[in-house]
Structure 1
């Protein structure tokens, strides 16, 4: 796995309530795993071309620095409240949020980012900074959903992992087993096969689709993917779920009752230049539980 497995847990701080939830979650993880905690706030360059008496660029930079320091101190207080005795490092950067977070990820064991909570019209999409950081980070990335009615994300339920047979999926399986072992909870391994696509292909060729045979084949594939990891983590209870349908929909069905969802950074689909698969992006955008994206570097 890329990144530094013994490095600190890095959290992006942007002043939102969701970010404070992410800080608390990361602080508890850092304390449990005996890792350092690094809180990072980044601002983008500001250009001022407004007529006087608008503030100068220097004035705006000063205000942004003051604001950033204030946000970092508030995040530090939240972290210490969640994990007394923790001594977080504070980092204020002016290199832009996405670039800063990707740079920080090189020496981190985990990068933690917040995503927006529920809105009146439903669940919200992951922001551009989160998607960019997940796509280019050097370590696993945890996305923590901001919760309106809870002090922190859920701490009960199983770890759920999506399995599709890709190299990034294999990385996700390893991360998921490790997380389940750390948390002392069960692992639910989900493998979904697209029955609608196969039905269309077989219909086009005027063949008969044996769904039972296909499902049995998919069950065997999942068992093969999990076998070595179950030997390595014999104390982790494993539930295998093989279903027909779109993978993202099946994973999201389980996300509301999980304490962590693990997905790969890229699945089988997508275009050659894309670093994130459609399933991962959908889970990042809609899952209510924390989502951990395992990195796979070719």
Structure 2
């Protein structure tokens, strides 16, 4: 991935602090800068901007924001972190911050009783429209941090989004010293062809998509998996034992559209490991 810094969006939540700690470890290992960003909340009050009450509320929000950034900086132990307080809405601020970043890192809530993370609209918007890959980190139950063991898993379907995901996955597997599992799911309109010809075609397609990457990253051991089933379900199966899951995003349109593929949203909601969502680079 390009860029010389990791950007972390912080809001004072446990998920955001988990994201800061994860990003700090990555920044130390990769010798990247770390930038912690807090966006001031919109003030839902009927006061004009010149009203003294509005000014007081804005000052209080700034004071709270600086305290949130100070706590986040303390969580980034061992890394000299830059802190930034921005006046825009969170989605607008973090999209702007993602320009030139190596990775935008966001925290998510812990799993709910049914095993699902409630991914907010800002997170979905950023995963769909950020100008760099987006990592989603959630607090873990039973352990302090996400596991640093296991393979890196990437979903491969031949789309431009998948091509960017492959690039990110190889780079991540290389610096982590991890095995890479490249997964292609044979699924069309609700039915699965289990014939030999279809299996051979899928394996050839997967080999074509991975061609050339082995020469660029000769240190990465790759397992190629062709499986039948819905992509989200099968990728989540592999993610159960992974340290990182990488997926493509077909995000499009303006921030208000929040367009993101159903597979990406399912992975963001249910994966037990950190998820990196990669979009095709702008031409």
Partners in 2 of 1:250 and 1:266 — Cα distance?
19
Aligned to 1:87: 80
Contact 1:195/1:244 (8 A) holds in 2:
no
**Rg bigger for which structure?**
1
Contact 2:27/2:33 (8 A) holds in 1:
yes
Pairwise CA distance, 1:266? 2.1
Partners in 2 of 1:278 and 1:258 — Cα distance?
21
Aligned to 2:222: 238
Q: State which of 262, 270, 280 in structure 1 corresponds to 2:264.
A: 280
Matched, 1:140 2:140: no
Pairwise CA distance, 1:92? 0.8
Count matched residues.
273
Aligned to 1:29: 26
Aligned to 1:270: none
Matched, 1:191 2:223: no
Aligned residues: CA RMSD: 1.9
Aligned to 1:118: 111
Pairwise CA distance, 1:59? 2.2
- Per the alignment, in what secondary structure is the counterpart of residue 197 of structure 1? coil
Pairwise CA distance, 1:197? 3.3
- Per the alignment, in what secondary structure is the counterpart of residue 25 of structure 2? helix
Aligned to 2:152: 159
User: TM-score by structure 2 length?
Assistant: 0.91
Structure 1 runs not aligned, ≥5 long: 200-208, 268-272
Q: State which of 266, 270, 277 in structure 2 corresponds to 1:293.
A: 277
Pairwise CA distance, 1:229? 0.8
What whole-Å deviation, never above 9, does each CA across 1:263-284 have from its counterpart, x for those lacking one? 11129xxxxx875222111111
What whole-Å deviation, never above 9, does each CA across 1:228-266 have from its counterpart, x for those lacking one? 111221221111111111101000111121100011112
Structure 1 segments, 4+ long, off by >6 Å, are none
Quickly say closer, same or farther: Cα 1:274–1:79, change in 2 above 3 A.
closer
